[in-house]
Amino acid sequence: MAKNPKAADNRRGRPPTRRSQPRRAKAAPVASSSVDIEDLAPSVTVAVAAAAPAALRAQLLRWYDAHRRDLPWRRASGGEEERAYAVWVSEVMLQQTRVPVVVGYYERWMARWPTVRSLAAATQEEVNEMWAGLGYYRRARFLLEGAKQIVEKGEFPRTASALREVRGIGDYTAGAIASIAFNEVVPVVDGNVVRVLSRLHAIADNPKESSTMKRFWELAGQLVDPLRPGDFNQAMMELGATLCSKTKPGCTGCPVSSHCQALALSLENSSVQVTDFPRVVPKAKPRSDFAAVCVVQIAQGLGEEVTDTKGNDDLFLLIKRPEEGLLAGLWEFPLVLVDEGKTDSLNRRKAMDKYLTRLLSIDMGRKSNVILREDVGQHVHIFSHIRLTMYVELMIINLKDGVDRLCKKEDDSTKLKFTNESSVESMGLTSGIRKVYNMVKAFKEKRLSVSERGQVPTRKRSRRSKQ
Ligand code: SF4
């Protein structure tokens, strides 16, 4: 599930607490400014003398040695492979997620799977459970698949090019592992490094374009320290995550301010600010999707007459999502997409009944008694590119033939499961589905007036579905 969209660029640290650059008049954004930053850059480039790399490296590393944050993945002990594994796990977790959130996940993960070998022996279910709440579940899947690949091969790849062969490891992660764990002189470029480089070199080009990214990789490659590549890469990221932040750069305390062309420009021309770099590219508007979600609760051991009965043995129907695409392979309550114009209760229920009938050997009218079916509310979940409005309903049913005969085909049993309340409570549901479950729980407590927590709703007489 999507996390805070602001997380990416500032994910490795807190906002800076140091003094900001001198106050100046607010400039227009680069795109609409009367001053063309690219026109200004050459003269300033002369002034800052093409950023002498050796001096910049030394200043940055000195600052990093004195100011780096104490983070658990930086404390990883053991040999190079243990360190490589720690860097890998932390870097994958840090993609799209802020440091304070990652710390707890990282520590729990490493306590459970301290080595790549132990991770390779885990199941996808276990990994998903551990990952629940971090979002972007593809990352967890790739970690597991990558671990299996590495264990099969017999050793941890030691170079960036070999690391890129591992499933889920791209240029950035390969560079981070190779430089930090194996001391290979290769660069890394993430959102923080892009920000620092675009300011150091006053690059106003669109950072989303591949030609601009290529330039950043080249610049980072020229800059990386040949003796301490891992520390240097971490220092660049640390600078971007702390002092050289998106909106409040602390230029007066910056160790490389004498090399910063954006700062020099801003001091020369009051209509320019360092925060004009990198150029802000408006995000594409997420598309809007709508879904009917039905939490199907199957009351156990009840006949036609439903009386006060504890619901501890009740089962919830969960469906496994397809192995490809959004939230691949994760469990959710029955969910079916509906058109925007068909989100009314009648159309949603029609779509849901059709879906359940296709999925299960269940005729909602003849094989089950619907004890209760009510709308619970809406929950909007924001993915990176989708705004999903979920219309949630609760349906409590009593099956005449029990759950054993619900699967239509043998292999359906791997795509759906019936699980009791305590398992639902403890399993690794995505944050959106967890929210749906909590909504339903709150609804039952309020609406059904149960006399004890966890009770099945009571009706003197069950009712057959009219849907
Ligand atoms: S790199 Fe430039 S913009 Fe960033 S904090 Fe240093 S002086 Fe300021």
Structure confidence at residue 402 as a pLDDT band (50, 70, 90): low
Instruction: Report CA(132)–ligand 1 centroid distance (Å).
Output: 36
Q: Give me the pLDDT at residue 143, please.
A: 97
Q: Which of 274, 275, 276, 277 to mutate to test the pocket of ligand 1 (most atoms within 8 A of CB)?
A: 274
Contacts 24+ apart (CB under 8 A), 450-453: 451/308, 452/310
Whether 91 is a known active-site residue: answer yes
CATH topology of domain 30-276: Endonuclease III; domain 1 (1.10.340)
Nearest to 7 by CA among 429, 388, 434, 382: 382
Round to whole Å and give the CA distance between 314 and 421.
Answer: 7
CATH topology of domain 287-447: Nucleoside Triphosphate Pyrophosphohydrolase (3.90.79)
What is the C-alpha R_g of the chain? 27
Q: Which of 244, 259, 267 to mutate to test the pocket of ligand 1 (most atoms within 8 A of CB)?
A: 244
Q: Give me the pLDDT at residue 411, please.
A: 55
**Ligand 1 atom with the shortest distance to the CA of 274:** 3
pLDDT, mean of residues 43-53: 48
pLDDT, mean of residues 93-113: 94
Question: Is a pLDDT exceeding 70 seen at residue 38?
Answer: no
Run of H or E residues at 350: helix 345-359
Residues of the chain with CATH 1.10.340.30: 30-276
pLDDT, mean of residues 35-47: 39
Structure confidence at residue 80 as a pLDDT band (50, 70, 90): very high
Q: Give me the pLDDT at residue 366, please.
A: 63
Question: Is a pLDDT exceeding 80 seen at residue 22?
Answer: no
Strand partners, 391: 292, 378
Q: Give me the pLDDT at residue 51, please.
A: 45
In order of 65, 230, 321, 380, the CA distances from 196 in angstroms are 18, 17, 40, 35
Structure confidence at residue 422 as a pLDDT band (50, 70, 90): confident
Nearest residue CA, atom 7 of ligand 1?
A: 257
Residues of the chain with CATH 3.90.79.10: 287-447
Nearest residue CA, atom 2 of ligand 1?
A: 260
Backbone angles phi and psi of 70, in degrees to 5 = -85, 100
Q: Average pLDDT of the chain?
A: 82
> Which tens digit of pLDDT belongs to each residue from 290-302?
999 999 998 875 4
User: Above pLDDT 90, what percent of the chain?
Assistant: 58
> Which tens digit of pLDDT belongs to each residue from 135-154?
888 899 999 999 999 999 99
Please indicate whether residue 163, judged by its CB atom, sits closer than 6 Å to ligand 1: no
Question: What distance, in Å, lies between the first and last C-alpha atoms of the chain?
Answer: 32
Kindly name the residue from 80, 81, 91, 165 that is annotated as catalytic. Answer: 91
Please indicate whether residue 251, judged by its CB atom, sits closer than 6 Å to ligand 1: yes
Round to whole Å and give the CA distance between 126 and 104.
Answer: 17
Q: Give me the pLDDT at residue 290, please.
A: 97
Please indicate whether residue 256, judged by its CB atom, sits closer than 6 Å to ligand 1: yes
Round to whole Å and give the CA distance between 114 and 192.
Answer: 28
> Which tens digit of pLDDT belongs to each residue from 233-282?
999 999 999 999 999 999 999 999 999 999 999 999 999 999 999 999 88
Instruction: Report CA(267)–ligand 1 centroid distance (Å).
Output: 12
